[in-house]
Amino acid sequence: MRPPLFVADRATMAAGRFTLDGPEGRHATTVRRLARGQLVDITDGSGLLAHCVVVAARPGELDLEVESREDEPPPACRLVVVQAIIKGDRGELAVELMTEVGVDVIVPWAAERSVAIWRPDREEKALNRWRSTAREAAKQSRRSRFPEIRSSVSTAGLPALLASASPVLLLDPAAAPVLTEVPLPAEGDVALIVGPEGGVSPAETKVLTSAGAVSARLGPTVLRGSTAGAVGAALVLSRCGRWS
């Protein structure tokens, strides 16, 4: 069994011995009940991973000694998913699944047919839920490089946001090309756009395809907005060599 994974800032992890405290320390001591001599992995969420041993345990705190470190470089092929805002807790489910699969950047999209609407006074709260979900999913899936959850974007803002990505793939169950047939690069940003419950509107499709997006379908079935991103991401990442 692999050691549990916790999060600390990079400056703290630079020391040969340091204390894990705060929410992470409380979880380690009260929930996981870690004790002296047990192994623990610590990450800063930006690629640094420290393999540690517990040298002392107190309520809410662990004293850790670093045995070794490794620093994961950024991936050559980075995946950005534009996820339409969807109702209820399905948005958090989408974030959780995409994080576990390995998505690098997740951008909430206020699509025309999104049932859920993030009002300006509540957007920060909604974003914090997505970010908290991503953090916990990253820890569960043992990622040392956590996904970036960006602020929401409108359809008008998508072309500029995705200008550096190639290709930009718009998931469309009615499209002729299959996602697995679209050529992908070995490096650079690849973007995947996932629509809401009611699908991407014709006006949005026109904006996105005019900006260079390529419509593609996942396969013979229509997936929910909460699962399509994860399935599409798995296909893209496997073809980019990230799942090899």
Supply the pLDDT for residue 242.
85
- Residue 119 in any domain: the answer is yes
Number of domains in the chain: 2
Choosing from 36, 51, 71, the residue where a domain stops is 71
User: 88 and 60 in one domain?
Assistant: no
CATH number for the domain harbouring residue 33: 2.40.240.20
Can you read off the two tokens belonging to residue 161?
């946001």
User: 88 and 62 in one domain?
Assistant: no
The rounded distance, in Å, linking the Cα atoms of 203 and 98 is 27
User: 67 and 12 in one domain?
Assistant: yes
Which parts of the chain register pLDDT below 70?
Answer: none
Supply the pLDDT for residue 197.
87
Q: What is the number of other CB atoms lying within 10 angstroms of the CB of residue 145?
A: 20
Helix, strand, coil percentages in the chain from 3-state DSSP, rounded to 5: 30, 30, 40
DSSP 97: H
User: 235 and 185 in one domain?
Assistant: yes
Q: Which of 57, 66, 71, 68 is nearest to 25 (CA)?
A: 57
User: 48 and 121 in one domain?
Assistant: no
Residues 232, 169: contact at Cβ < 8 Å? yes
Can you read off the two tokens belonging to residue 154?
């409108």
CATH number for the domain harbouring residue 91: 3.40.1280.10
CA 145: distance to chain centroid? 9
User: 104 and 208 in one domain?
Assistant: yes
- Residue 244 in any domain: the answer is no
Whether residue 167 is preceded by a cis peptide bond, meaning omega within 30 degrees of 0, is yes
Query: Would you put residue 206 in left (φ > 0), alpha (ψ -120 to 50) or beta?
Result: alpha
Torsion sign over Cα 112, 161, 236, 89: negative
**Chain segment 145-159, per-residue pLDDT in tens:** 999 999 999 999 999
Counting Cβ atoms within 10 Å, is residue 6 exposed (0-12), middle (13-18) or buried (19+)? Answer: buried
The rounded distance, in Å, linking the Cα atoms of 67 and 81 is 36
Q: Residue 131: enclosing H or E segment and its boundaries?
A: helix 123-140
User: 155 and 111 in one domain?
Assistant: yes
User: 208 and 89 in one domain?
Assistant: yes
Helix (H, G, I), strand (E, B) or coil at 211: coil
Domain of 112, in residue numbers: 77-239
Supply the pLDDT for residue 131.
97
User: 204 and 182 in one domain?
Assistant: yes
Helix (H, G, I), strand (E, B) or coil at 24: helix
